[in-house]
Amino acid sequence: MEQVIFAGFTHEPAEQLAERLGKIVPAGLDRVFYSDNGSTAVEVALKIAVQYWYNQGRRKKNRIIALEHAYHGDTIGAMSVSADSPFTATFEALRLAVLRVHDSKELERLLRDRKDEIAAMIVEPLVQAAGGMLVYSAAELERFSALVPSP
């Protein structure tokens, strides 16, 4: 497994962990990016998704889909893909425009109507704790994954 970590440097434990992760993640996931916190990990994931399509010459494919009631962190991008709330209202002018859905039926309609704009979808796996302990079934998460295929 290839790694993008530590500003171009690495060390043996990081390489060992990447190898172990490579054995359990789904096929096609062959890179690791180590981050020091969740908000930064979300920021990087958003940037990677948009940059991928930009590099493919698909510059209008730059919108992110997030679930209603989401929470992904406190940096600008992470707040953008989080739910609107009194905590994010102060920063509304800084937040990215995000498309929001409640379920796979809404996602399917959105993808049908705007697929040429959508770069990626971000989802909390199974439980939206900050959203009120909302639980998505494994089947619903599989539908999300099937509808938003990897490039």
Tokens of 122: 């971000």
Q: Is residue 51 part of a domain?
A: no
Q: Are 5 and 39 spatial neighbours (Cβ–Cβ below 8 Å)?
A: no
Q: Is residue 76 part of a domain?
A: yes
Q: Is residue 82 part of a domain?
A: yes
Q: Is residue 138 part of a domain?
A: yes
> Checking DSSP bridges between strand 118-122 and strand 2-4, what pairing results, if any?
unpaired
Domain count, the chain: 1
Q: What pLDDT, on the 0 to 100 scale, is given for residue 13?
A: 85
Residue 100's closest CA among 128, 58, 142, 133?
128
Q: What pLDDT, on the 0 to 100 scale, is given for residue 129?
A: 63
Q: Is residue 42 part of a domain?
A: no
Q: What pLDDT, on the 0 to 100 scale, is given for residue 136?
A: 82
Residue 134's closest CA among 38, 69, 65?
69
Q: Is residue 9 part of a domain?
A: no
- The range of the structural domain enclosing residue 72 comes to 59-147
Q: Is residue 90 part of a domain?
A: yes
Its pTM stands at 0.82
The phi, psi pair for 4, rounded to 5°, reads -120, 100
Q: Is residue 66 part of a domain?
A: yes
| Alpha carbons 23 and 31: distance in angstroms, whole number | 12
Residue 8 DSSP SS3: helix
In order along its 151 residues, the chain shows pLDDT tens digits of: 554 556 667 788 888 898 999 899 888 888 888 888 888 999 999 999 999 999 999 999 999 999 999 888 899 999 999 988 888 899 999 999 899 999 999 999 999 999 999 999 999 877 666 666 667 888 888 888 888 866 6
